[in-house]
Amino acid sequence: MKLAPTAPLPPVPASERRNAARRIRLMPSPTVTERIVVALLWAMAAITIAVLVFIIGYILLHGLPHVTWSFLTESPRRMGREGGVLPMIVGTVLVTGLAVLIAAPIGVATAVYLTEYTAEGRLTAVIRFGADCLAGIPSIVFGLFGFVFFAITLGLGLSILSGALTLALMVLPTIIRTSEEAIRAVPYAYREASFGLGSTRWQTTLYVVLRSALPGISTGVVLSVGRSISETAAVMLTAGSALGLPDSLFDSSRTLALHFYYLAQENISEANAYATAAVLVMAILAINLFAYWLMRRFIARGGHHA
């Protein structure tokens, strides 16, 4: 940044100059402070990116060489020392997909209720407090609850369904909160315009509010997908760790993250552990990129300037 030239200043008395010099030594001039702040912020951002790149690079470097076509399309043999991770990919997709399919409608509906259909009051405070508490509970506790309630009490056993229901509970607060924020960000003027044209509250919610809030809501959903994919503790206790391809949603199935945990923890195969991690990382990257692309397309079409 360049400063505009200024007219020469009148001469300053020597005593003043000394005082000024002392003040400057105590406190750097605004431009210097500004430079230091910019440099610090830049360094912090650089560190963040560097760590990210390092972790991803390290995993891909060690894992990618072992990610072959057969690794992706075969079942594991000898507990995962040999063979691939096809059942884990299937298990991960089913558990995660089902969890989000269950949690997203419930979460978005809750957010709509909180923002559009009810006045702020004790009930909304209780719901919000409940969601926040839910968000703070460690996943292993969700796992335990899922095991006791879904697997045993409801008799679903260690199964994809038990795992998905448990994960759904776990990501629900994220979806509620992000949806709520996205919905609140929709300008009030859109609602007025819609009501003014004679639409009902439901039509306004559906065609105007949710439509405008969609990018924000999908951010929450993508975060939830990521969290579900990488969860281990909760699925270990509810979806189990069967190695074979599941026949139905009532079968146990091991997810990729859990498989990685076993391979690494029990020292089964370092190469396959890295390969599994590489598959996981790439899946998460792909989902994020896809979501990003989807959002850009949506925004471009609607002309949403926000």
Note the residues at the interface with another protein (CB under 8 A). Answer: 119, 187, 189-200, 203, 207-208, 211-212, 301-306
- Please state the closest distance from residue 200 (CB atom) to another protein, in A: 6
Q: Which two tokens stand for residue 243?
A: 């190695």
Burial environment of residue 158 by CB neighbours within 10 A (0 to 12, 13 to 18, 19 or more)? buried
- Please state the closest distance from residue 119 (CB atom) to another protein, in A: 5
User: Residue 118 and residue 123: Cα distance in Å, rounded?
Assistant: 9
- Please state the closest distance from residue 179 (CB atom) to another protein, in A: 18
Q: Which two tokens stand for residue 169?
A: 């509970």
Spell out the residues 6+ positions from residue 91 whose beta carbon is closer than 8 angstroms to its own. 160, 239, 246, 253, 254, 255, 256
**CB closer to another protein out of 136 and 198:** 198
Q: Is 292 helix (H, G, I), strand (E, B) or coil?
A: helix
**CB closer to another protein out of 79 and 185:** 185
**CB closer to another protein out of 26 and 189:** 189
- Please state the closest distance from residue 215 (CB atom) to another protein, in A: 11
**CB closer to another protein out of 169 and 214:** 214
Buried b (16+ CB within 10 A) or exposed e, 231-250: bbbbbbbbbbbbbeebeebe
**CB closer to another protein out of 30 and 198:** 198
- Please state the closest distance from residue 211 (CB atom) to another protein, in A: 8
